[in-house]
Structure formats: C-alpha cells, structure tokens
Structure 1
Amino acid sequence: MATIGVSIGVSFGVGIIAGPIISGFGGVQAVFGVTAVLTVLAMLAVIYIVPNPQKSKLHRDAEFVPEQAMNALKNPDLLRLNYGIFVLHLILMAIFVVVPSLMRNAGLVAGHEWQVYLPVFVLSMAIMIPFIILAEKKRKMKQVFLGAVGVLVLAELGLSQFHDNLISIIGFLGVFFCGFNLLEATLPSLISKTAPADLKGTAMGAYSSCQFMGLFLGGVIGGWFNGRYGVTAVFLFCAGAAFTWFLVSLTMNPPRYLANMLISLENLSEQTTNEFVSRLLEVVGIVEVTVHNEEAVAYLKVDSQLLHKDQLQALINQYTNV
C-alpha cells in the first residue's frame, strides 16, 4: 500500500514538472490536450492490457461494498486517517493557488517553474526513503507520522512569513514536500493496517473520496483566502489545518503491523470451514480471521515477521485438498 501512495505522489510530481514545460510550448490548450490524450491511453490500457478475469468474485479487501460504508465511517481510527488525507490534499491545492505566482513575482521566469519543482521533488523523495524504512521496518510509524505532520505546519508557517524571496520559497517548498511525500506514502499503508481485513476495500474507497474532496475544497478555499485576505492568510490557514490534523493524530492508536491475506474456502462444508478457521488461529502470526461463507473466502490479518508460512501452507494444503 505504501507503493500506491508513492506512485500517487510521483504522478503529482511529474504533473507539476511537466505542466509548465508543456504550457511553454503550446499554452494552456496544450496542457488540456495532453491530459485528454493520457486519459484516452489510460482507457485503452484498461480495455486491452489489464487482464479480464474469467470469473469475477467480490473481494472485500479491494472493492467498495456499500452496505459496509457506515462501518468504515464509524471507525474512529479510520476517520482520523480520512481527515488526514483530506487535509493533506486541501493544503496541497490551496498553496498551489498562490505559489506559482509568488515565484514569478520573486524573479522566476514564467514557464521555468519546473526548474524549481524537479530538484525539490527529487530531493524530497530521497529524504523520505529512510523515514519510510524507519516507520515500516523499525515499526516507528506513529512517531514518523506525527513528525511529518509537524513538518507541514513548520513549512506553512515559514511560507507565510518568507514568501517574498525566491530562495526562501524554494527552501520551505522543499520542507513541505518532504512531509507531503512521506505522508502520501504512509497513509495508504496505515489504512491497510488499520481496517479489518474484510473492510479494507470499503475503507480505501472512503479514503479516496476524502482525498479528492480535499483537492476540490483546497482550490476553492485557497482562492477565497487569497482574494479576500492575501497570500499570507492562505499559508496561515494551511498551517492551522495541518495543526488540527496533528492534534487529532496525537490520539491515534499505534498501528498494528499486519498484512492482509485471502484464502479460498470453495468446496469446503460449513463444518470443515469452522474446523479450518480454528486451526488457522493456532498458527503463529495469524491475528484475525474473518469468514464470509457466501463468498467462500476467509480474510486474514497476519504479522508477516512472525508468521509461520510453512505451517500455514501445510494447513491450507490439508484442507483445500480434502
């Protein structure tokens, strides 16, 4: 899941770097034209490249299930994360309402914004990597997460006070992207760790909705603050929003470092299924098993570092070959 978050962050980075370059060649029309072409290519990839399953089944770990929506929305830990991705993308869009014009006012030639975005983005991605390792491998996720949110607050406060100088804008923009990229990578991983195994798909659906709601409102609110109160107010508002996120995150439970697994229960009787589940819970590293008999699937939460994989495989072979 962290890879998904990184890919989203990278796509944004490529977009803000490529946008000014494309605009320099053909104006805003070229930007929208390239966007349309990429959209068509994505559609063709889905139609002709993505495999079409011969047998389609519901997978609650990957699909949004409407009847489970309220369970996802009532979960306090998931709500904290949904609020987080909402605030993160609200801030992102709000500051980019004003940052490009501020850099031009500070002396950057129009159309050369990519010369700032490219090194800032690449450097921030490199700085992010050891912190992801610390969060995931050393199991310091909450500490790293809170630190990254705090970095956002500091970056926004810095931009609110020092946005007249190009060097300071670039510097605090770099600080912002260090926090942004780290959070963009860790939030999907936290959703996966936090959601019950059979609720992950629905939880990710709610998470994505909050993400794009933040993008929409960030542009609206950023434009309104800029027009009414000026650029300083935009950055102060973003700092305040990030600080509320920091306060909300202080009460988050340290995540369980668990991965998700699915096991097919097809052709197993109810009695055999119950026996199989009891045996699964005896395997070291398996923390949670949720069965949906109507789908013939067992959803597992496992600790990958502790899981006895050979014992699990032997058990699966024993029951699925019956």
Structure 2
Amino acid sequence: MMNALERRSTFALSSIFALRMLGLFMIIPVFSVAGQSYQGATPALIGLAVGVYGLTQAILQIPFSLLADRFSRKPLVVLGLLLFALGGAVAAMSESIYGVIIGRAIAGGGAVSAVVMALLADITREEQRSKAMAVMGMSIGVSFMVAFSLGPWLTSLVGISGLFWVTTIMGIAAISMLLLVPKVTRHHRNYQQGYVTQLKQVLKMGDLNRLHISVFALHLLLTAMFIYMPSQLIEFADIPLSRHGLVYLPLLVISLFFAFPSIILAEKYRKMRGIFLTAIGGIVLGLLVLIFGFESKYILLLGLALFFIAFNVMEALLPSWLSKSAPIQSKATAMGVNASSQFLGAFFGGMIGGQLLILNNTSMGWGILTAIAVVWLLISFGLVQPRYLSSLVIRLPESKQTDEWTSQLLAIRGIEEVVVMPDQQVAYIKVDKQQIDDVARQDLTHLLGKEVAI
C-alpha cells in the first residue's frame, strides 16, 4: 500500500501531467477548422502550429533532464510550467498563424515530463513505484479522452483564442499542485562527470535503448491508430465522430482492471519482463484482429480493446522499468531521452497515420502497423529482468547532521540512494538486498540505532 505522502504526491504530479495534456490535446480536434481564421493560415502552417509543440518537447527534454540530475527538480518543473502558460498566452493574443506557431513552440519549451517522472520516482518507494506510474499513465489517458470531448465544446463558448487562455490557466493551476509535493534532497555516491559524458553513459546502455525504442513504438502506434481508426468507426461501426469518446472511455476503464493486476504481478513476483513482453504481444494480437475483422463492428471494437488494455499496461510498466534500470545519478537524463523518444514516436505516428488514410487498402494499413509492432517485440526479447531495489522508511536522526548521516549510510555496501524529505523528517533508503551482507547489516543497525529487517 502507498503511504499518505506517496498518495498525495502521486495525485499532485499526475494532476500536473493531466493539466498539461488537457491543454495540449484540446487544441487537436478543433484547430484544423478553427485555425483557418488566422491571418496567413495555410494547411501546412496549421499542421505546423499543432505539431511544433511536440517537436520542441522532443528537443528540450534532454537538456531539462540533464539539469534535473544536478539541481533541485521542483524549480525546473515550475520553469517548464511557466513556459507552458506563457506559450498559451502568446498564442491566445496572436492574430496571425505565425504568432500561434511561436506560442506553441514556447509552450513546448516547457519540456518537463521527464523531470516530473523523476520527481515521482524520488518520492515513492521502489515497491510502490509501478502503482504510482500507473496512476500517472492513466491520468494521461483520461485527459486525452476528456480533451477530445471538452475541446469542441469550449471552443464554441470562448473561441479558439479563449481555448489558448484556458491552457494558460491550466499551466498556472498545475504550478499550484506542486505545493502538495514535499521538498526532496537526493543523496547518492558522487559521480563527477560532464553533461556530455553523462548523456553518453545513458545512450550506451542496451536495455535503456530497448526501452526508448519501446516508448517510441508505443506512441507511434497510438498516434497512428487515433488518426486511422475514427473513419473506420464511422464507416464500419456506424458510430458518429461526436460519440467516439463514449467508445474510448469505457475501453480505458476496462483496461484498468487488467493494468493494475499486471503491475502487481510484475512487482510482487518479479515478472516484469514476462508481463512486458506479453503486453507487446497483446498489441500485436489487437492489430492482427483489426487486419482481418475491421469490417465487423464488434471485431473492430475487440481489436481496439486488446490494443487499449496492452497499451495501458505498457504505459504503467515503462517508466517503472526505466527508473529501475537507469543509473541512480542519471535517472532524469534517462527519462529525458525516453520522453524525447515518446514525442518523436508521436510525431512519426502522425505522419504514418496520415499516409495510411491515403491507402485504399484498409487491411494493408493495419498490416503495416502490425509489422512495426512485431519488429518492436523481436527487439524487446533482448531485455534483461531489471534490478529490484527495496526501500526503508526511516525517521531523520535529531542528533546528527543530515549530510554526515547520509554519507555514512552511502558508505555501507548495498545502500544505493538516500532521499531526504526534511519537512516531513523522513528519509527513503533505497537498498539492493542482493548486495547486503552481515557486515552491512551490522553497520546499518549501528547507524540507525535499531535492527531493520532486510
């Protein structure tokens, strides 16, 4: 069970993600039409106005995450959310399409997805992290569904410039959620290295690269599907566009009943690799169903359901696995590369989805997406089961300096990281049980003043 601090922080950081995603997604279903009212608007520039956000996100995730491994994460999140809010305001005040493009680029400059995830990893125990990441993943999915319903309605009330002002308000509201997140000080063995060396270290790790390919493929397939699927729901399932949210939302809820048990199995019984590969297999199966049964309403919905269930399992497992496999001192950097891969996947998914719409062969379209998923599955077989750390929750000692105390802890074999929350007078000690021996247990008992079960 997550403790009260973890539940509160997970809620706050998931809300930050959801508010940002709402601001991003609400524009998508309306801008292709509403954007034509801007001076100088052309179809290409309207597309650029929508897509430039993802491009600046992909470019700036890594610089933000490199900084987040050296400095406090919360101020960087505030900076990113301020840029997001500022970009919304610039777009809202613009009368030309170029002003909107500049505003969307500024908003995308607040590339703090990886920093938020790294902060969540700091303040959750290893055993509870997948649950926290699952909640964050679900918040993204729910915000996607809500945005596609809310965007057209809000635009009818306040217009397209008003919709951009709403994104600014959401950015400011997201900053206020940080008040619920405790102040965190991270302590680990000091690895002195430059920014380039740190990035190279992350990029040389085979399993991390497989996880980056995984998030790229996952969001490529998701984006392509949401471009390719709507016309088929209209044609073969006789479901009008205005009611598509009523299809996606129940499927999202159903997927929760599969996602959370899968996460518990992955963590409690250390079956993460098996669950991970099974989820990719589920995506392949869902796409295979769509190749052969897209003309039937119920088979079409079955394929979509299989995809959604597997997608949400993957959305929960990926950041948790990443946080386990990344070097302690480069956790945010690894998450930054992963977030860049995610946004690039969405970018290429949009391009591929658009090309699939031109095809006159629907089965071939689904076959192309299936082939991408099969290649992803084959690459993922090279993944090795991640290392599992455990967490001890300890009250901070009153009689010792915190820095001295954490240094003594980190000198003990098997202690990987100490995360201190001074306002709560609590520390999470992250331990590799396979490295702990009798001498280390004695040293830990002596330092903590009590015996701990490891």
My pick for the range that moved more, 129-138 or 11-20, is 11-20
Task: Give the 3 Å change call, closer, same or farther, for CA 34–124 of structure 1 in structure 2.
Answer: farther
My pick for the range that moved more, 301-310 or 162-171, is 301-310
Do residues 241 (structure 1) and 372 (structure 2) align?
yes
Structure 2 match to 1:78 = 208
Q: Deviations over 1:71-127 (max 9, x none)?
A: 111110100000000000000000111111111112112301122111111001112
My pick for the range that moved more, 75-84 or 101-110, is 101-110
Q: Deviations over 1:165-203 (max 9, x none)?
A: 222221111110110000000000100111121121111
Matching residue's letter, 1:121: L
> 2:320, 2:339 → 1: CA distance?
13
Q: Deviations over 1:142-162 (max 9, x none)?
A: 111100000000111111222
Aligned counterpart in structure 2 of residue 315 of structure 1, from 447, 450, 454: 447
> 1:219, 1:57 → 2: CA distance?
40
Task: Give the 3 Å change call, closer, same or farther, for CA 121–249 of structure 1 in structure 2.
Answer: same
Do residues 161 (structure 1) and 292 (structure 2) align?
yes
Distance apart, 1:70 and its partner CA: 1.2
Aligned counterpart in structure 1 of residue 258 of structure 2, from 123, 127, 133: 127
> 2:160, 2:295 → 1: CA distance?
28
Structure 1 match to 2:217 = 87
Q: Deviations over 1:250-296 (max 9, x none)?
A: 11111111257999997649xx95x7644x11xxxx26479xxxxxx
Distance apart, 1:235 and its partner CA: 1.9
The alignment yields a C-alpha RMSD, in angstroms, of: 3.9
Structure 2 match to 1:293 = none
Match runs of 1:114-263 below 5 Å: 114-228=245-359, 230-258=361-389
Residues 258, 304 of structure 1: 8 Å contact kept = yes
Task: Give the 3 Å change call, closer, same or farther, for CA 228–60 of structure 1 in structure 2.
Answer: farther
Residues 120, 177 of structure 1: 8 Å contact kept = yes
Matching residue's letter, 2:325: T
Q: Give identity over the alignment, percent.
A: 32
TM-score (normalised: structure 2): 0.56
Do residues 50 (structure 1) and 178 (structure 2) align?
yes
Structure 1 match to 2:40 = none
> 2:140, 2:316 → 1: CA distance?
12
Residues 154, 163 of structure 2: 8 Å contact kept = no
Structure 2 match to 1:9 = 138
Task: Give the 3 Å change call, closer, same or farther, for CA 92–200 of structure 1 in structure 2.
Answer: same
My pick for the range that moved more, 78-87 or 100-109, is 100-109
Q: Give the gaps of 5 or more residues in structure 2.
A: 1-128, 419-427
Do residues 302 (structure 1) and 425 (structure 2) align?
no
Q: Give the gaps of 5 or more residues in structure 1.
A: 291-298
> 2:174, 2:306 → 1: CA distance?
36
Distance apart, 1:40 and its partner CA: 2.7
> 2:263, 2:239 → 1: CA distance?
33
Structure 1 match to 2:152 = 23
My pick for the range that moved more, 212-221 or 21-30, is 21-30
Do residues 97 (structure 1) and 227 (structure 2) align?
yes
Structure 2 match to 1:295 = none
> 2:259, 2:328 → 1: CA distance?
28
Matching residue's letter, 1:250: F
> 1:229, 1:161 → 2: CA distance?
15
Task: Give the 3 Å change call, closer, same or farther, for CA 12–276 of structure 1 in structure 2.
Answer: closer
> 1:120, 1:310 → 2: CA distance?
51
> 1:309, 1:208 → 2: CA distance?
38
> 2:161, 2:355 → 1: CA distance?
24
Distance apart, 1:44 and its partner CA: 4.2
Distance apart, 1:24 and its partner CA: 5.7
Distance apart, 1:313 and its partner CA: 7.0
Task: Give the 3 Å change call, closer, same or farther, for CA 162–196 of structure 1 in structure 2.
Answer: same
Task: Give the 3 Å change call, closer, same or farther, for CA 196–116 of structure 1 in structure 2.
Answer: same
Task: Give the 3 Å change call, closer, same or farther, for CA 316–16 of structure 1 in structure 2.
Answer: same
Matching residue's letter, 2:233: M
In the comparison of the two structures, how many residue pairs are matched?
A: 298
Task: Give the 3 Å change call, closer, same or farther, for CA 39–300 of structure 1 in structure 2.
Answer: same
Matching residue's letter, 1:200: K
Matching residue's letter, 2:148: G
